[in-house]
Copies of this chain bind each other. A is one copy, B any other.
Amino acid sequence: MIIGKVTGSVVATRKNEKLIGSKFLVIEPLKSMASEIASDKFVAVDSIGAGIGDIVMVARGSAARLACDREDAPCDAAVVGIIDDGTGLEK
């Protein structure tokens, strides 16, 4: 999993029906978890009530579906935890 900050959200009125009701958060990875040469924000489905400004843990790939409301949702990234504390994260 990687850790990032929730910086915003996106709205998609027209979407795959298995994603209806999902909240789509924009995630900016922590600098120690990101590349220096890339700006690698991505969109993750929220299922634990995260909000803008929260530092969250995100699962990607097939693991993400296990955190969605529907396990057949075409989702490849999901917020799976809100980080309270951490060590060893510095770059």
State the A residues within 8 Å of B (CB). 1-3, 6-16, 18-19, 24, 26, 28, 31-44, 47-49, 52, 57, 59-67, 72-78, 80-89, 91
Copies, count: 5
Nearest neighbor of A62 in chain B, beta-carbon distance? B62
Contact: B84 with A11, CB < 8 Å? yes
Chain B's nearest CB lies how many Å from the CB of A17? 9
CB<8 Å pairs between A and B, sample of 24? A1-B44, A7-B87, A9-B88, A10-B83, A10-B89, A11-B83, A12-B57, A12-B82, A16-B48, A18-B66, A24-B81, A26-B87, A32-B39, A33-B41, A34-B38, A35-B35, A35-B37, A36-B37, A39-B91, A41-B88, A41-B91, A59-B74, A66-B72, A75-B80
